[in-house]
Amino acid sequence: MPRHNIRSFISGCEAYALTSSEKTFFREMQPWGLILFGRNCQSPSQLKDLTSEFRSIVGRKDAPVLIDQEGGRVQRMSPTTGPWRKYPAPAVFGRLYEQSPLQALRAARNIGRLMASDLIEAGINVNCVPVLDMPQPDSHTIISDRAYSPKSEAALALARAHVAGFAAGGVLPVVKHMPGHGRAKVDSHQELPCVTASRQELEATDFVPFAAFADAPMAMTCHIVFAAIDNDNPATHSRAIIRNLLRKQIGFEGLLITDDLSMKALGGTYAERASRAFAAGCDVVLHCNGHFDEMQEVAEASPILARKSLRRARTALRQLRRPLPFDEKAALKDLEAIMAAA
């Protein structure tokens, strides 16, 4: 199928291998990418078969395959799902940074490079990191240790180092969750958070890390209402946030992907959720849970990737490169040391 018929959505799938219905669906609907979860991860060879088959079906060797491989609580390829190492939560790097910044930065890069090796071996070329949200003392624990540090200087330095490790291993990052999930007092997987902080306060804290990563190839929105900017719509559905704050003020020029449309923070049908995201200015919508009827509804509401969105998608994928050589023994030594400290 011609490349210009790619639709602007990313889909999940149900299990370790694609069903016949999923194969037909992917062939006909041409999602831009595939996202994987623990339910899809059994072994490196199984994942390689799954990702290879997806790319063969859509007819694109560079088709993005995404995963959330942060370390800590959010590690889809983990010792509980298959033969993979356990990796530290980002906050572990932050604690080490307080004692030894140089050691923490080296460890973040080396461990990112190790994680990238796992991903590339499985055919995964996009990782949804770094988490740049700045959690507050009274916020919900959904972010918590997924963030590198509550101090923006440390968080930015560690995020840069971690992402550099992934990039050296041939894996693209997706910055999340724009413009900041750190103040949410409820979990957006379950309900819609509303942040009431002033715009001045948000610009001085929460938005700063995202401005520092405005050159990232891809970023993910959050399903959160920021009352000081748009009291009626979560960021994913807000023109004021996406077009004015993210694009103009922060200056993000990369591909903007929604957080999962199946999260309960959003209301309406799946077609409505997708359509509102596109109308607000998102480039690509994300649907994760693998429920086939929902996948179909999202796909049918997703336009062909075109114009600025197509250019952003192509620009992002052009940043993929072959993995560079690295000192695996040194990286494993850093992993052992930081896990012992954790």
Is 259 marked active-site?
yes
What is the CB neighbour count within 10 angstroms for residue 78?
18
What's the token pair of residue 313?
A: 């998608």
Start-to-end CA distance of the chain, whole Å, equals 49
User: 52 by DSSP, 3-state: which?
Assistant: helix
d(CA 179, CA 136): 15
**What kind and span of H or E run contains 280?**
helix 270-280
Q: What is the DSSP string of 18-69?
A: --HHHHHHHHHH-EEEEEE-GGG-S-HHHHHHHHHHHHHHHT-TT--EEE-E
What's the token pair of residue 194?
A: 């509303």
Instruction: Of 255, 263, 157, give the one whose Cα is nearest residue 212.
Output: 157
Find the catalytic residue in 4, 62, 189, 215.
Answer: 189
Find the catalytic residue in 68, 133, 230, 259.
Answer: 259
Confirm if 323 and 78 have CB atoms less than 8 A apart.
no
Q: Which long-range contacts (CB under 8 A, 24 or more apart) does 328-331 make?
A: 328/114, 328/117, 330/110, 331/110, 331/111, 331/113, 331/114
Burial of 213 (0-12, 13-18, 19+ CB in 10 A): buried
Which residues form the catalytic set? 189, 259
